[in-house]
Amino acid sequence: MVFSGVATAQNDSTTSLREAREAAQARDQQRLMGFLDDQQALASALEEARSNYESAQQQNDALEAQQAEQADQASELSERQAEQGEALAGLLSNLARHSSEVRNALGEESLLTLEEGSLPPRLDDVEVLERHQLENVVDHLAVLTARTGQAARLSLPVADASGEVATRDLVRLGDFAVFTESELLERGENDGNLVVLPRTPNNIGTLLAEYYQGESNVFAVDPTQGSVLEALAQQPSLWERFQQGGYVGYVVVALGILGLIIGLGQYLYLVVVSLRVNRQRQSLSQLKANNPLGRVLLRFEGMDKHQTPEALEARLDEAVLAELPKLERSQPMVKLLAAIAPLLGLLGTVTGMIVTFQAITVFGTGDPQLMAGGISQALVTTVLGLITAVPLLFVQTALSGRSRYLTHVIEGQASATLADHLESHSSNNTPAYTSAVN
C-alpha cells in the first residue's frame, strides 16, 4: 500500500510537468504563428534582438579594453616599483607609519587640527610612492609643527553650555589653549567640535579678556594639556561650598546672622548711650533723663537726704542696678548663639559622616564621588559653625566691654555725687544725721 501511494504521487508529478511543458510549447507556437502572420512585428522583434546583441558586444569590447588597460597599469606599476628598489619601499613604509601615528596621536583631540584638512594623508594603501605624496605629508607636518608655537585668531563653530552651536571668534595658543574673550574652550569627546568649559577660573578669565583684546601678552598655560584647568574648574564657588552644608549649614548661618544683627543693634545703642553719658558728665548741673547717668542722678536728687549714708548708698545702688538690664541686654543671647554654632557644626559633621557610611555600605569604597557629598557636609558644617562662632564671640566681648565701661562710669559718678553730698553735710554739721543715728 505504501509503494502504490508513492507511485501514484510520482505519476501525478510527471503529469503536471508534462502539462506545463506542453502549455509552454503551445504558447511559443502561438507566438511564432503570430509573428509569421504579422511580418512587421517579426521584423521589429528581430531588429530589437540585433540591437541588444550589438549593445552587449560593445560592453564586452569596453570591458576587454579596460582589462587590458588595467593589466598595462599593473605592469607599469610593477616595473616602477622594481625600479625604486628597497630604499624607496622602506621610505614609503616609514612615511606611511609616521603619517598614521600623527593622525592617531592628534586626531580630534588636539587643538592643532581645528581646521579641516590639517592632518597628513594616510599612505597605507599606496603601493608606489609619488613625489607629490611625499611633499604633501612633509608640508602637513611642517604646518602642524609651526602651529605649536603660534597664536592664531580663528572663526569656528562653538557649542555653549546649552548645546547651541554658533560661529565665534577665538584665539588658539599652539596646542595648549583655545579661548574666546571670556571663556575657555575644549575639544568635544564625541565629535571633536569646540565646546565651552563648564567653568572658567576667575583669575584665568581676567587674563583671557586682556590677552584677547591685545592689552597684555601674559597668559596662563596649562602644560598638562588641561588637567590643571579641569581641577581648577571643579573647585566649587563660595555659594556652592555653602550649599554643601545642607540644612544644618543653613541653620548655622541663619543663627549667626541673627546674632550679628542683635549684637550690632545693641552695640549701636551702647554707642549712643556713651555719647549721651559723656555729654551729661560735662554738664552735671543740667541733668537729663535721656541717659542712664542723668536718670540715676535725678533719682538721687529726689531722695530724702536726711537718711543715713548707708541708706542713701543702698538707694543709689538700686538706681544704678535699675539701669544695668538695658545696658547688658542681648549679651546672653549673643553668647548663647556663639556657643550653639559650633555644636550645630558638630551635628552637621555627625550627620555627614552618617551619610558617608551609608554610601560605603551600599556602594563600597570603589567610587570616592559617592562619598564626597557626606564628607563635604561633615567638613563644611564644622567650618560654618566656627566661622559663625568667632564673630559672635567678638561681638559679645565688645558688648560686654562697652556695657562694663558705662556701668563703671555711672557707678563712679554716682559714688562721687554721694561723697560730695556727705562731705557737704559733714562740713555744715547737719543735725539731721545725728538725730537719725540716735
Q: What is the pLDDT of residues 293-306, one digit of tens each?
A: 778 777 777 776 66
- The better pLDDT of the pair 234, 101 is held by 101
Q: What is the pLDDT of residues 402-434, one digit of tens each?
A: 888 888 888 887 777 777 777 776 666 544 433
How far apart CA 314 and CA 292 sit, in angstroms, is 17
pLDDT at 100 over 60: yes
- The pLDDT of 211-227, averaged and rounded, is 72
**Distance from CA of residue 423 to its chain's centroid?**
78
pLDDT at 242 over 80: no
Q: In Å, what is the CA distance from 174 to each residue of 101, 111, 193, 221, 268?
A: 20, 7, 17, 10, 60
What pLDDT does residue 230 have? 66
Instruction: Determine which of 23-27, 176-180, 189-193, 400-404 has the lowest per-residue pLDDT on average.
Output: 189-193
Cβ neighbours around 316 below 10 Å, total: 21
Q: What is the pLDDT of residues 126-149, one digit of tens each?
A: 766 677 777 788 888 888 888 887
Q: In Å, what is the CA distance from 347 to each residue of 247, 360, 379, 383?
A: 11, 20, 11, 12
Q: How many CA atoms lie within 13 A of 34 on its CB side?
A: 9
What's the mean pLDDT when you consider all of the chain? 76
How far apart CA 282 and CA 273 sit, in angstroms, is 14
**Stated pTM of the model:** 0.53
What pLDDT does residue 258 have? 92
Classify residue 352 as exposed, middle or buried by CB count within 10 Å of its CB (0-12, 13-18, 19+).
Answer: buried
- The pLDDT of 376-405, averaged and rounded, is 86
String of b and e for 189-221 (b: at least 16 CB within 10 Å)? eeeeebbbbebbbeebeeebeebbeeeeeebbe
Question: How do 194-196 and 185-187 pair as beta strands?
Answer: antiparallel
Q: At what angle do helices 369-427 and 331-363 cross, to 10 degrees?
A: 170
